Amino acid sequence: MHSNLCMAARASQPAQRCRRKFLRFFPEGFRDETYLAWERDYKAEAHARWSEALGKDAFRALLRKRAWSDVAATAVKIESRTNLLFSFEKMALRDAVRDANGARTFAEGLYDWLHGSGSMEARFARWCEAVASLPRRQTRVLTWPLVTVWGFLALPKEHIFLKPNVTKRAAAEYAYDFDYRSQPNWTTYASLLDFAATVRRDLRDLRPRDLIDIQSFLWVQGSDEYEE
């Protein structure tokens, strides 16, 4: 216990303040029953559904069958049971993958982002290009939430979800110099991953399981839902 207190004490004052806020809402930390009910369980359940339906082998098999529309429909269905995307983003994506070309661009681009070759930076750049090229009806598809939600659902030990306004507020509360730009780009995503790694180190005595826990912690810091 003493070493845990020392770890918390070594964090910066803003980090300690954010930690205290989180623990005021969820005294048992990442194992708190209310935390699980409000923040974690529905995200973890979406990840479990993704792993079952669109895990790497199943995803690759669908691509081999050229079942791009099935990939897109399954991804949309899994995300639709969460509140991660705004309704206009959900609608923009549904419009974008409605035709075969859009579904193919989405499915092949997403597989490459999650499981393709090359560095994460190169894969992220290709994924942003794929999303930018999707058919567009009214609302733009290239938003930070739409670009980052799939990695977060599929591989939450590697990828994190970015809601811009909440994350910027959380970074300000944490006194982290978040390199944010509104157009999806690698520099900002890398900065977010570094922010998440910093928070994870500061909270390691609370035993965060993955980036679902870190994203939820940041949500508590930046969301209006958790105003004190």
List the chain domain ranges: 14-43+159-226, 45-141
**pLDDT band, very low/low/confident/very high, at 227 (cuts 50, 70, 90):** confident
* pLDDT score for 136: 84
Whether residue 39 is predicted with pLDDT greater than 70 in this model: the reply is yes
The residue to which tokens 């982290």 are assigned? 176
Task: Give residue 8's pLDDT.
Answer: 55
* DSSP 8-state symbol, 37: I
Mean pLDDT of 36-63: 98
The answer to whether residue 57 scores a pLDDT higher than 90 is yes
Q: For residue 29, give every residue at least 6 positions away whose Cβ sits within 8 Å of its Cβ, in sequence order, or none.
A: 22, 23, 35, 206, 207
C-beta separation of 194 from 160 below 8 A: no
Are residues 173 and 14 in contact, defined by beta-carbon separation less than 8 angstroms?
yes
Rg (CA), the chain: 18
Q: Give the separation between CA 196 and CA 73, rounded to whole angstroms.
A: 30
How far apart CA 156 and CA 209 sit, in angstroms, is 9
Q: Contact, 43 vs 53, CB < 8 A? A: no
Q: Count CB atoms within 10 A of the CB of residue 114.
A: 21
Which of 30-34, 102-106, 137-141, 143-147 comes out lowest in average pLDDT? 137-141
- The pLDDT score that the predictor gives to residue 2 is 40
* pLDDT band with cut points at 50, 70 and 90 for residue 9: low
Average pLDDT over residues 76-85: 95
Q: Give the tens place of pLDDT for each residue, 141-175.
A: 899 999 999 999 999 999 999 999 999 999 999 99
Closest listed residue to residue 51, CA positions, set 123, 180, 153: 153
Q: Quick one: DSSP state of residue 223? A: -
DSSP code of residue 228 = -
Helices (H), the chain: 2-10, 13-25, 33-35, 41-54, 56-64, 68-80, 87-96, 100-115, 120-132, 144-154, 164-174, 186-202, 211-222
| Spatial separation of the C-alpha atoms in residues 148 and 184, rounded to whole Å | 9
Q: What whole-number distance in Å separates Cα of residue 108 and Cα of residue 97? A: 12
